[in-house]
Structure 1
């Protein structure tokens, strides 16, 4: 390999590495980041108490998620981590969704869950999880969790490699947005009347 080709190759490698390094949350140059106009900081700034409801509140009537990300806990800004607690009453589902900025590591705290994700080749990977099991949903891929138990609730805790992983709920994104009904009907090879029925069902 000539010197010129070696230099081009090394430049491409360096570019690839730099782009990979930028793929996650940006690195920070301080111990932590304070919000604007935030002058004093103590232990309260680093504390989130929102998950106490898992211990003290009754099981909700429908699926519930309690997020602990940068919006709820500003101290997470720049730390590249966050949590979500998920509560699944009997026969409930966390609808198909994606997290565009992070993989998800789900830990089943109670009950059992049917989980799965679809890769970019349209292959479904699914599993039945029991209490104590962990499952990883790769970054950006469509996935779901379902409590098929008709009697018992389930609970799980999800960890993310981003302070703000984002959630794109497919039902809401597609049918509770302002995308034209005709576009949706053509996309799903159906008619506008069916699209309107789906939209009405999601609002009910």
Structure 2
């Protein structure tokens, strides 16, 4: 009896490991997910997104900006396990610490330079200064950031994601703009409620 239980436990663990190793966007059983019938049969336009044309020849924005091509903006991506983003960094700007719970991120610096980094589950920080043409991978679900520390020049990066809907959890906003009780935050950060409220007012401004 014990040996049978041991056997079934091993089989169950094997299947669980298989499911985890294949975790990500669910596979689809068709070539693509068509639009709703009311839009008619899809043509080439359905598989085309022109939002990034707005970047061509445009002046740099005054603050950090992200332009996304995920399933939300580009429905043809549903079921394809890919998405894209353009990240525009004026000099001295940052993409604050955040995570993508459903995807890893592959970032390519197209212009300028960026200081990037992520923190693993042992709280070890991995950082690198990237130059034009460099690529960096942010593992799935880990907290990471990008920073243009150049005082004069802007930077532009393109990010590819292993999900049509990677999701973004912005750490400062998730912590301080949530409804977590101020007392809980004060105890967690080893400070007082007044300091927590000051941080919150700074983030909301």
Confirm or deny a common fold (TM above 0.5): yes
CA deviation map 1:39-83 (0-9, x unaligned):
331111111111112213210111000010000000000000000
> In the alignment, is residue 186 of structure 1 matched against residue 182 of structure 2?
no
Equivalences for residues 62-101 of structure 1 within 5 A: 62-101=63-102
How far apart in 1 are the matches of 2:71 and 2:50? 14
Query: What residue number does 1:31 align with?
Result: 31
Q: Any idea what SS the aligned residue of 1:56 has?
A: coil
**Structure 2 residue runs without a partner (length 5+):** none
CA deviation map 1:156-190 (0-9, x unaligned):
00000000000000111111222222221111111
How far apart in 2 are the matches of 1:180 and 1:15? 37
Structure 1: 4+ residue segments shifted above 4 A? 2-8
Query: What residue number does 2:14 align with?
Result: 13
TM-score of the pair, normalised by structure 1: 0.93
How far apart in 2 are the matches of 1:169 and 1:9? 39
**Structure 1 residue runs without a partner (length 5+):** none
The structure-2 alpha-carbon separation of the partners of 1:121 and 1:19, relative to structure 1 and needing over 3 Å to count, comes to closer
Query: What residue number does 2:44 align with?
Result: 43
How far apart in 1 are the matches of 2:130 and 2:67? 21
Equivalences for residues 52-67 of structure 1 within 5 A: 52-67=53-68
Q: Any idea what SS the aligned residue of 1:27 has?
A: coil
Compute the displacement of 1:13 (Å). 1.9
Compute the displacement of 1:201 (Å). 1.1
TM-score of the pair, normalised by structure 2: 0.92
How far apart in 2 are the matches of 1:8 and 1:91? 54
RMSD of aligned alpha carbons? 1.7
Number of aligned residue pairs: 202
Compute the displacement of 1:8 (Å). 4.9
109-118 or 185-194, larger mean C-alpha shift = 185-194
The structure-2 alpha-carbon separation of the partners of 1:40 and 1:197, relative to structure 1 and needing over 3 Å to count, comes to same
Compute the displacement of 1:195 (Å). 1.1
